[in-house]
Amino acid sequence: MAESFRVLSYNVRSLRDDRAALARVVRGCRPDMVCVQESPRFFGWRRAARAMAAGFGLDVVIGGADASGNLLLAGERVRVQAKETLYLRHRAGLHLRGMALAAITIAGRRFTVASTHLSLDGGQRADQAGEVLERLADFAEREQAPSRVLCGDFNSHPDSAEWGTLTAQLTDAWQAAPEGEEFTSTAQDPYQRLDAVFVSRDVDVVRAGVPTDLVAQADMAVASDHRPVLAVLTV
């Protein structure tokens, strides 16, 4: 039987909510990697990121304030080959956005894994969707890790133009193998899907969605203002 690679995408709202519940949610998903959005970004952010990772039973790979709040965490099965943070093209007056990327090996297969968080501004967000794909592809080629996993809070819906830009090159994991629930926002009253995991065409998805069968909705409702997306991939 093929081994699996468990990736969790989670906007944690700068740890402003119930941290014990957050840790229970993440641990309940048993992820190999967590792609965090809105990780701690201000005074003492490195210490806060390490403490958060330890609470999840994981280690910090890269990211945080130098990726505009995007952060990668990994467990003991993951071997990190290369890592990088970057800022997306900025527009004056709008929030600076970024990416955290890593080339990793798990069970003998190489992946590029990235976390990002797109703009609230529609015009900027449309541009960022294309830029994120370019940056992801460039890093994957450079590090010879062609199987790509892109996680994030995309601040848009599956019928949006930017979602179409992403799915022109990548597969929406929820559409490939839905399990659990679809809506990620808000955590207390879910009614829309803003968060997703996208994978390159060579990656097989076993399941993807909000892991309501693995963790309690009561915990998700107080852990953040978003619910997480778990994608289980075949290695």
**pLDDT, mean of residues 192-206:** 98
Percent of the chain with pLDDT over 70: 100
Tell me which residue of 108, 101, 98, 88 sits closest to 137, measured CA to CA: 101
Tell me if the pTM is above 0.85.
Answer: yes
Decide if pLDDT at 165 tops 70.
yes
Number of domains forming the structure of the chain: 1
Give 2's pLDDT tier (boundaries 50, 70, 90): confident
- The pLDDT tens digits for 38-76 are 999 888 999 999 999 999 999 999 999 999 999 999 999
Strand-pair partners of 7? 33, 231
Across the chain, what does the average pLDDT equal?
Answer: 97
DSSP string, 140-177: HHHTT--EEEEEEE-SS-TTSHHHHHHHTTSEEHHHHS
Which structural domain, as residue segments, surrounds residue 76?
A: 4-234
Q: CATH code at 9?
A: 3.60.10.10
For 88-224, where are the E strands, in sequence order? 98-106, 109-117, 147-153, 171-172, 195-199, 205-209
Residues whose CB falls within 8 Å of the CB of residue 175, separated by 6 or more in sequence, listed in order:
158, 167
* pLDDT of residue 1 exceeding 70: no
pLDDT tens figures, 225-234: 999 999 999 9
- How far apart (Å, rounded) are the C-alpha atoms in residues 114 and 38? 14
In tens, the pLDDT along 118-134 reads 999 999 999 999 999 99
